[in-house]
Structure 1
Amino acid sequence: MALAVRGGGEVAGRAVVGHALRYAAGPRELPAAQRVPMRADSVFDLASLTKVYTAILVLQLVDAGRVELDAPVAAYLKGFGKRAVTVRMLLTHTAGLPVGTGSRPATAVPLLPGAVPGTTFRYSSVGPMVLAQLVEKVTGRPLDAALRDDVTGPLGLTGTGFRPLTWVGDRDRLVATDARRGLLRGTVHDDVCRRLGGVAGHAGVFGTAADVAAIGRLLLGGGALDGTRLLSAPIVREMLTDQNAGKPAVDPDRPGRTAAHGLGVVLDQPWFMGRLAAPGTFGHTGFTGTSLLVDPARDLVLVLLTNRAHPDWTWSDPDVHRVAVADLFA
């Protein structure tokens, strides 16, 4: 586990616990001498936190006048075909798309039976996959290059990117995930992203706790961080405003959740924010045990990165730990 906390623009707390690698394939627990301890600069598979980075890239295009939030996605991706679905709907999970793609390309995935775009929150990884293709189409660059050129490079986030085996020189920095299906270390845990070569809009970004905290500080700062502006203040206000007020939420995994969601970020969800949950509190979680939580009222950025998926995702529920840490800081 790696924890990074920022408050008042300063580092308010940091903790590193446990191991980046504890199990070999099998899974088989390694002898103590062969385990790799967690470090402050350990690089985690951020899983669905990737969706926040994809949203930032999309909103940069909105800022530049190259994409309109309420335009049909089909205006940018001719093969999408669902003209009632807008860019905003993909960012807010209200398009009516299913959770996954099955064996189909993301742009070919049909809406759920009976779904009316724009009316109901249904968490879906397909939307961010499509948004990634939109970014690539409009910018003319692969998603990983767009992330490097337009986000991580300008901010100096050298511990963040897709396909870490190409840029992490010290393998001991890599936090393992699955050891049951064959040890994954520096290779994305998400099956669909792995089939796409490790680069996708819903998963695939790896990063350190400090680098994730920088993204929280960027949004807390209205789109600017340490003098570098990536987003306009108005688009960040829109990003952090509930887009789904009054809409129902359908989420079999978390039946008590609400539809509260901004443009690419989750809002006011006690199931992972604990007592820090409030209308203005925003963030996101990742399947591998990662989370970003930002409480503007407390000027607080809380990043909790765990290797819940090592040796296997079934052994722990990360929400319990997310809530416990959030409650501690509350």
Structure 2
Amino acid sequence: MDAVNPTDAVDPADRAVLNGVLHEIVEDGATPGGVVVCGTAAGDRAVLSAGVVSPFTGPAAPDEHTVYDIASLTKVTATWPLVGRALDAGLLDLDAPVREFLPPMEGAMPSGEATVRQLLSHTSGLRAATRFDLYDLTERPLHELICHELMENLPGTHRYINRGYILLGLALAHVHGRPLDELARELWAELGMDDTAYGPVRQESRVAPTERQEGHDRLWGAVHDENAAIMGGTAGHAGVFATAADLATYAEHLLAGRETPLGQWFRMSLVPQAEIEPGVQRGLGWVLGAGGSVAYHYGFTGTSLHLAPATGRYVVVVTNAVHNGAAARIRITPLREQAHKMLAAG
């Protein structure tokens, strides 16, 4: 792996533009507030914030230590790195069917034939809709119910599918003989991500609430994703809470260019596996844009992580954009686009 030659400072002009867009989306009502960290692999960080954590919890401004539900960033901060470790340990095989790494099952298993690589790259062909509220989980365990389902697409067809990462999370727990949240907690502790955890987390002022549920109070410290909630808050596709500071630490580990297993796994994962749309590819877990110069991933609640491996630069975005209803979250798009544009420019 080639060493990264990171920029040793955050460009003040880039910082100013990001700060302006962040304030604009807050003023537009896209989110009560949010935090952006733009930084480098060398450890240089600029922290930007706007708005409040939530009107529900009081007028406090968010900062890099505010805890957000990071939604699908769970895929690349928990499941994806743990899969890399399991591959190194010989507990998983990228091109073997996932059924081989789950408890024994009987009968035909069409979806169980999907490989670990296909699940990571969203090319498995599994059903895209995830409605565990319609499943009878008392009859058979979840991994069995999913594996026995028919596929919706031919393997190799790209389609974003949560249940693939759910299966990966279940497989990780099985091959290790330990719960997924326990495996993740050890990983984050090693990386110095002390404020990252699977929920539920304690309701306190530094935890950003998300959406009000029909007939219930606003979600606060409990996972927003309904399917992860049915699974007890711990799942391969969602359920993690983190701070912008911890996500910045994670980005620095991925980009530092050191000969670490995590760094090697990151570089390996940047090889395109499928086309999402012209100019945008899917690697193992990560989306690859700008000719492969930017790797990124989004979270439904209004979070994102953008990485530029060649320059060692990154942008972390955390908001609770579902606070005002799930439809409001698309209004943070200008902030994500600006983060991408900044890194793609080199």
- TM-score normalised according to structure 2 size: 0.78
Structure 2 gaps of 5+ residues are 1-33, 136-141
Indicate whether 1:97 and 2:126 are aligned.
yes
**Whole-angstrom distance in 1 between the partners of 2:199 and 2:278:** 32
Indicate whether 1:47 and 2:32 are aligned.
no
The match for 1:243 is 273
Q: CA RMSD in A?
A: 2.2
Aligned residues: 293
Contact 1:61 1:67 in 2 (8 A): yes
* TM superposition shift of 1:232: 6.2
Match of 1:161 among 197, 200, 205: 197
Contact 1:243 1:263 in 2 (8 A): yes
* TM superposition shift of 1:180: 5.0
The match for 1:320 is 334
Q: How does 1:225-244 map to 2 (within 5 A)?
A: 229-231=260-262, 233=264, 235-244=265-274
Contact 2:255 2:263 in 1 (8 A): no
> Match of 2:316, as an amino acid?
V
Shift of the 15–125 alpha-carbon distance from structure 1 to 2, 3 Å rule, reads: same
**Whole-angstrom distance in 1 between the partners of 2:100 and 2:124:** 15
SS at 1:141 equivalent: coil
The match for 2:83 is 58
Indicate whether 1:264 and 2:285 are aligned.
yes
Match of 1:20 among 53, 56, 59: 53
Shift of the 316–134 alpha-carbon distance from structure 1 to 2, 3 Å rule, reads: closer
Indicate whether 1:183 and 2:218 are aligned.
yes
**Whole-angstrom distance in 1 between the partners of 2:338 and 2:182:** 37
Contact 2:41 2:252 in 1 (8 A): no
Contact 1:240 1:280 in 2 (8 A): no
**Whole-angstrom distance in 2 between the partners of 1:290 and 1:73:** 29
Match of 1:218 among 253, 268, 283: 253
The match for 1:124 is 161
The match for 2:109 is 81
> Match of 1:94, as an amino acid?
T
SS at 1:35 equivalent: coil
* 1:53-77 CA distance string (max 9 Å, x none): 2011011000111211001111112
**Whole-angstrom distance in 1 between the partners of 2:279 and 2:222:** 33
The match for 2:309 is 296
> Match of 1:128, as an amino acid?
Y
Structure 1 gaps of 5+ residues are 25-33, 250-255, 269-276
**Whole-angstrom distance in 2 between the partners of 1:286 and 1:99:** 17
Identity %: 34
* TM superposition shift of 1:176: 1.1
SS at 2:209 equivalent: coil
Q: How does 1:132-151 map to 2 (within 5 A)?
A: 132-149=169-186, 151=187
- TM-score normalised according to structure 1 size: 0.82
**Whole-angstrom distance in 2 between the partners of 1:294 and 1:190:** 25
After the TM superposition, which parts of structure 1 deviate over 6 Å for at least 4 consecutive aligned residues? none
SS at 1:305 equivalent: strand
Contact 2:280 2:291 in 1 (8 A): no
* TM superposition shift of 1:258: 6.1
The match for 1:36 is 60
